[in-house]
Chains A and B, each alone.
Chain A
Amino acid sequence: DSGVTQTPKHLITATGQRVTLRCSPRSGDLSVYWYQQSLDQGLQFLIQYYNGEERAKGNILERFSAQQFPDLHSELNLSSLELGDSALYFCASKAGNTIYFGEGSWLTVV
């Protein structure tokens, strides 16, 4: 157990819809990273927050957005969903030089 909690674990939704994925980092960790893994592909960096502020952006689509709240949990919002958005979405929190991943949220767009 990494200590990073993600909900929901599985989600099926229709094209055009909007979903929110939630992440609670390990206790005391201020940084949250979001990654996307599509169909046995690598882990693509989406976005990072530190103590409520956006710090880095990767390959995140304009239809996607995220935020980190004062209690340090983070949400990834995916809107106008397309079939190609079906993927595993991971969040990770940083301690020292290492990032620790949650179990992921499996999104299926039908």
Chain B
Amino acid sequence: DQQVKQNSPSLSVQEGRISILNCDYTNSMFDYFLWYKKYPAEGPTFLISISSIKDKNEDGRFTVFLNKSAKHLSLHIVPSQPGDSAVYFCAASALFTSGTYKYIFGTGTRLKVLA
């Protein structure tokens, strides 16, 4: 049961344009959402997050939008740069019955920004 889904395995965008990466989740208990960027053979790097009480969070070129009713979040990168080429993972977290927060990740979207 994939609770966090990234349905686009890959995305190509021209340099300077907007990149939009999408993520869907199924469990309404998730209350915190995160995006990570990952280069090959490196660890995921935290990019930006959003709490379920907000619908938008912005940090420089990166903006995350949350639509709770649709159980959907998206990451916008504007303008896209070649250095943004990487795999992007979304993650959702919730407090589980064990009294701890679990972080469930999507399968990732490979972004390629073309110069």
Binding site for B on A (CB under 8 A): 2, 4, 6, 31, 33, 35, 40-43, 45, 48, 50, 55-56, 58, 88, 90, 92, 94, 97-104, 106
Any A CB within 8 A of the CB of B63: no
Taken together as a complex, chains A and B put the C-alpha atoms of A99 and B107 apart, in Å, by 17
Instruction: List, sorted by A's number, 27 A–B pairs whose CB atoms are closer than 8 Å.
Output: A31-B100, A40-B108, A42-B106, A42-B108, A43-B44, A43-B89, A43-B105, A45-B102, A45-B103, A45-B104, A45-B105, A48-B100, A55-B98, A56-B96, A56-B98, A90-B44, A94-B101, A97-B51, A97-B93, A98-B46, A98-B49, A100-B46, A101-B44, A101-B45, A103-B42, A103-B43, A104-B42
CB–CB A42/B100 < 8 A: no
Taken together as a complex, chains A and B put the C-alpha atoms of A97 and B93 apart, in Å, by 9
Taken together as a complex, chains A and B put the C-alpha atoms of A45 and B44 apart, in Å, by 14
Q: Mark B15-42, 1 if CB is under 8 A from A, else 0.
A: 0000000000000000010101000011
In the assembled complex, the CB of A1 is this many whole angstroms from the nearest CB of chain B, namely 10
A-B contact count (CB 8 A): 64
Binding site for A on B (CB under 8 A): 32, 34, 36, 41-46, 49, 51, 89, 91, 93, 96, 98-108
